[in-house]
Amino acid sequence: MHLLNLVHIMQDIATHDSPAALVFGGSRGIGAAIATRLAQEGHAVALTYANRADSANEVVASIEAAGGRALAIEADSADPSAITRAVDTAVQRFGLLSVAVVNAGIYRANPLGAVALEELDQMLAVNVRGVFLAVQAAAANMRDGGRIITIGSNTAIRTGSPGSSVYAMTKAAVATLVSGAALDLAPRGITINNIQPGPIQTDLTAEWTEHLIPRIPLGRMGQSREIAGLAAFLAGADAGYITGASLTADGGFVL
């Protein structure tokens, strides 16, 4: 047998011992921080991306440089078949999932009258249908007792800015999906919870930072690692009795 094949087999054996995590939308921002944190907690981490292969590969490289195992998978969450393919690829590489984080989401701001049908459909496809299908596919390929975490938004509670009607609607859908799915998954001991971040410093908020900070009671943007910490808690043993919950981390923005 070729030495390289043997190395891969040994790696696979080692990997199947570490719990597998899949992060949808793990190439940048909050998702990249969550992927990195889950790897630090001992997970073998698969992460999907839509366009930014460069960023996804950087996340993988930094996890590997720290001694972890990671895999980047191109999978547009607007494409149902890409979602199931991503789950299959992750399971093939790292074994049945222990944790799935559905983070992929897009934000387009437009006043009600200016929202074009195409924009509405795209946001629903990624932020709602894509989240549902990712939860469905992950649950079907998850160990009993596993953890599913969605990334919603505090806009589900308080929209906060004009032009956010579609986005807020999609994130409210995620919160209610999670409470419904929790009942379906409970018999398998799988928990599902929803993190609702407020303004977090990422590419998504870059152009609004100055406008947002004065409206945040804690007086600053949140950091992706703070959301990653909450995700790690929900994925860990101490959160075993929490399911169907939406937990808001937004510096007091909704208060």
Binding mask 147-176 for ligand NDP (x = CB under 6 A): ----x-x-----------------------
Q: Which is nearer to ligand NDP, 12 or 119 (by Cβ)?
A: 119
HSE at residue 53, side-chain half, CA atoms within 13 A, is: 2
Binds ligand NDP (CB under 6 A): choice among 18, 19, 20, 31: 31
Q: Which is nearer to ligand NDP, 80 or 143 (by Cβ)?
A: 80
Residue 226's SS3 state is helix
Interacting span for ligand NDP (CB under 6 A) from 29-37, 89-97, 136-144, 178-186 = 29-37
Residue 194 interacting with ligand NDP (CB under 6 A): no
Binding mask 92-121 for ligand NDP (x = CB under 6 A): -----------xxxxx--------------
Residue 251 interacting with ligand NDP (CB under 6 A): no
Tell me which residues are annotated as active site.
167
Neighbours of 220 (CB within 10 A): 13
Residues in the chain: 255
Helix axes 3-17, 80-94, angle to 10 degrees: 100
- Reading the block at residue 30, the tokens are 């909050």
d(CA 23, CA 45): 7
**CB distance 94 to 47 below 8 Å:** no
